[in-house]
Amino acid sequence: MTYVTIRYEVKNRLARLTLCRPEVSNGFNIPMCEEILDAIEKASLAEEVAVLIIQAEGTVFSVGGDLVEMKRAVDEDDIASLVRIAELVNRISFAIKKCPKPVIMLTDGAVAGAAANMAVAADFVIASDKTRFIQAFVGVGLVPDAGGLFLLSRSIGTTRASQLAMTGESLTAEKAYDYGLVYRVVEQEKMEKTCQQLVKRLLRHSPNSYRAIKELMWKSEFEQWEAYTRLELDLQRELAFKEDFKEGVRAHFDRRRPQFTGK
């Protein structure tokens, strides 16, 4: 696959997957999701890769779903394409968690929507002190996707997960660290150094151990994810066809507060 929306490089046993759509705050569209999935699969299968690093260009890690694409889909009544994105972002979180190698995510700026839940799927998140994690779904009348509530509830507990999903409140890097979602919080200019220190530690140990640890974690905590996914996608599909979602998207572009009616 030729990559247009991401960059994928392998060097010194490290695979780096970089989101490269800063002009739309690295929002996910169908091509980007498909390219991310392809790159994760390559890293998972490649013998020369020991660790996968996921990062992004620009001042925003990702706003989650591409808001420009959402507006187009609403205007053209092409909601089916948005449902397809919901399916793909779930597969990305799934692939990160199933990857037999350590996955490190470097975050800076806003990490919103599906991107915030992909971060929960990663094994290690190194966040700049400017990072904000946002469950932005309620702002457009949707439900968390990319495995959001399934992953969050197991990471920070059901009450906190529900509160973040229901309020859409921004979670600072420090608070995310306190909750156990983040491995390290550092100044932006120290992110790469901190990443290399972690990589150095990880490369000391056997890939067999990491493969077994992740398999055991999956068996003990995540086997029910596939059944959960079916419900998540069914609900997201139902919500995407409702008027509240269309109102939420239009209000975002009109720079006004949405007027939800429950329709």
Residue ranges of domains in the chain: 6-188
Average pLDDT, the chain: 93
Question: How confident is the model at residue 113, as a pLDDT?
Answer: 93
Q: Output phi, psi for 112, to 5 deg.
A: -120, 160
The pLDDT tens digits of the residues spanning 48-107 come to 999 999 999 999 999 998 888 888 888 888 888 888 999 999 999 999 999 999 999 999
Distances (CA, A) of 153 to 5, 31, 160, 193, 237: 31, 30, 8, 31, 22
State residue 236's pLDDT score. 83
pLDDT score at 254 = 79
Q: Is the pLDDT of residue 33 over 90?
A: yes
CATH superfamily membership of 6-188: 2-enoyl-CoA Hydratase; Chain A, domain 1 (3.90.226.10)
Q: Which residue has the higher pLDDT, 217 or 253?
A: 217
Residue 250 has pLDDT above 90, yes or no: no
The residue written with tokens 């007027």 in the block is 259
CA neighbor of 128 nearest in space, from 190, 196, 46, 178: 190
Percentage, residues of the chain above pLDDT 70: 100
Query: Full-prediction pTM beyond 0.75?
Result: yes
> Mean pLDDT, to the nearest integer, of 216-235?
88
Predicted confidence band of residue 241 (pLDDT cuts 50, 70, 90): confident
pLDDT at 226: 83
Q: If you average pLDDT over residues 24-53, what whole number do you get?
A: 96
Q: What distance in Å separates the CA atoms of residue 183 and residue 105, rounded to the nearest whole number? A: 10
Per-residue pLDDT at 20 exceeds 90: yes
